[in-house]
Structure 1
Amino acid sequence: MTTLGAVFRPQLPPERLRDVARTADAAGLEELWLWEDCFLQSGIASAAAALAWTERLRVGVGLLPVPLRNVALATMEAATLHRMFPDRVVLGVGHGVQRWMAQTGARVDSPVTLLREHLDAMRALLRGERVSTEGRYVTLDDVALDWPPPTPLPVLAGALGPRSLRLTGEAADGTILDSSVPPAGVRHACQLIEEGRAAGGRTGPHAVVVYLLAATGPGAAERLGAELEHYAPATRPELGAAGDAEAVAEAVQRLVEAGATTVVLQPTADEPDPEGFVRFVAEDVRPLVP
């Protein structure tokens, strides 16, 4: 069955998260996803709070920019969340927006190399291994977690370019695609991910999480159109969904048919009713998605 989620966008002030998370939990939403966008909100702090405020909701962070996060610290945070909230945490890492990374002095010459080194070290630490490595960017000297998760925590990675997509197949447990990727792009991305999985000898499950811009209620089409203005005109007609639950569910299904295993509905930045949006996803769209 396809997993369906929704985004709490960091354009909302952090104090709004509690009501949105509790509404999502009460409505039966499967997953609430958070972003660590510069310079808005922390992904880990927000995830910990949302998990503590809810009972069953799974919380995803998509994604943590690895240039900003030492791998040992990021892994300690991941393990801590997983032990406190078993089976309710989904974490993704990625290159980060390069302009933002440059603003912080953290931009690197080879984002793909950094992501590979970070993924290899993080997944090994989460397996409870003791790690020593001296890479181009990641260096660890006899590091092991004192409190590793009882079972390895899957680590997802965001990607768009061909090299990064192959890397996620080879070195991550899942791939996150943003809302700029239409169904045809998802299908192509899955092919590149499979090439990476074959190169890395990976045979286990691999999640493909895809964000989908969505708007409902009064002015939905206009709000969605304004949000899509910065995307390439060639792909804009295939991006996003505006209207009732049936229209949104049809757009979700197109992504599922292209290879998505999880679709996360992303409201517009000016969504007037965030609590209503998560109820709409859980109560109206979910019954229409197989």
Structure 2
Amino acid sequence: MTRLGAIFRPQLPPERLRTIARLADSTGLDELWLWEDCFREAGISAAAAALAWTERVRVGVGLLPVPLRNVALTAMEAATLHRMFPDRVTLGVGHGVQDWMGQVGARAASPLTLLREYTLALRGLLNGERITTEGRYVTLDDVALDWPPRGGAEVLVGGIGPRTLRLSGEVADGTVLNEVFSPDGVREARRIIEEGRAAAGRDAGSAHRIVVYLFTATGVDASARLQRELTGAGLTGVPGLGVAGDAAEVADTVQRFADAGADTVVLLPTADEPDPEGFIRFVGDDVRPLVK
């Protein structure tokens, strides 16, 4: 069954998260996703709070920018969340916005090399391995977690370009595709990811989860708000992006993404969404029952 989620945009102040998280938990929403955007809200601390305030909903963070974070620290934080809230945590890592990485002196000369080294090390640590490695960016000397997650933990990679998507297939457990992907784009992304999996000799029968963000607007001026969002992102020329309408129209669009290969579709409200709490109710109470 397709999982359905919604995003708490970090343009909202952190104190709004508690109400949003509790609404996500009390409705039929499967997942609540958070962003670690510079220089707004941190992903791990926000996820810990959202998990503590809730009982059921799964919390995802997409994405943790790897240039900002030592991999051992990320592994410690991720493992702590997984141990305290088993089966309720999804973490994705990515290159980070390069301009932001430059602002803090963390821009890597080879983001792809960094992401490869980082993802391999992070997955190994979360799977309870003891790791010694000296790469271009990641160095670990006899490092192992005292409290790795029971049974390991999945690590997703976020990507847009074909090289990053192929890398995700090679080294990650899943991929986060942002809002620039149409259903046709999801199909092509999955094809590239599968190429990477095959090149790495990974089991073709094993799961590789695809999470897709979908611009969504409902209620008053929904079409106009969606259009403003797409225009601001420079995406007006890409067919099949976003949905504006009632629950049935949104559910139909979610199904098209699921048919294209998305395992989880996460609805992204517009930046000018007038009622973020109402958006969560809409997704959980109205859309979720209509999604297969």
Q: Is the 8 A contact 1:180 1:231 kept in 2?
A: no
> Among 234, 237, 246, which residue is 2:237 paired with?
234
Residue 67 of structure 2 is aligned to residue 67 of structure 1: yes
SS of match in other structure, 2:106: coil
Is contact 1:24-1:275 (8 Å) kept?
no
The separation in 2 between residues aligned to 1:76 and 1:50, in whole angstroms, is 18
* One-letter identity of the residue aligned with 1:273: D
- Cα distance between partner residues in 2 of 1:99 and 1:186: 26
Post-superposition Cα deviations, 1:90-131, rounded to whole Å, max 9, x if no partner, equal: 000000111111111100011110000001100110111110
Match of residue 266, structure 1, among 252, 265, 268: 268
Alignment correspondent of 1:115:
115
The corresponding residue for 2:211 is 209
Tell me, yes or no, if structure 1 residue 130 matches structure 2 residue 133: no
Write the letter of the residue equivalent to 1:288.
Answer: L
Work out the CA distance in 1 between the residues paired with 2:186 and 2:237: 15
Residue 93 of structure 1 corresponds to: 93
Rounded Cα–Cα distance in structure 1 between residues aligned with 2:21 and 2:87: 17
How far apart, CA to CA, are the structure 2 residues paired with 1:187 and 1:28? 27
Cα deviation 1:215-260 (Å, max 9, x = unaligned)? 111111111111010223320x411000101111111111111111
**CA deviation profile, 1:132-178 (whole Å, cap 9, x unmatched):** 00000000001000111111110000011111000001100000000
Q: Which runs of 5+ in 2 are unaligned?
A: none
Q: Distance in 2 between matches of 1:100 and 1:144?
A: 31
- Taking structure 2 as the reference length, the TM-score comes to 0.98
Matched to 2:255, the amino acid is Q
CA contact (8 A) 2:29 2:57 kept: yes
Aligned to 2:19: 19
Residues 165-176 of structure 1 mapped to structure 2, 5 A cutoff: 165-176=165-176
Return the letter of the residue paired with 1:211. Y
1:206 deviates by 0.4
Q: Give me the whole-angstrom Cα distance separating, in 1, the residues matched to 2:27 and 2:288.
A: 11
Matched, 1:156 2:156: yes
SS in 2 for 1:32: strand
Q: Which one-letter code corresponds to 1:205 in the other structure?
A: A
Distance in 2, matches of 1:3 and 1:233, equals 27
Q: In the TM superposition, what whole-angstrom CA distance separates every residue of 1:35-85 from its partner, at most 9, and x where no partner exists?
A: 001111000000000000001110000110000010000000000000000
- Distance, in Å, in 2 between the alignment partners of 1:191 and 1:288 is 28
Aligned residues: 289
* Structure-1 separation of matches of 2:36 and 2:105: 17
Q: Would you say the 8 A contact 1:215–1:224 is kept in 2?
A: yes
Could you say which residue in structure 1 is the equivalent of 2:48? 48
Q: Does 1:39 align with 2:42?
A: no
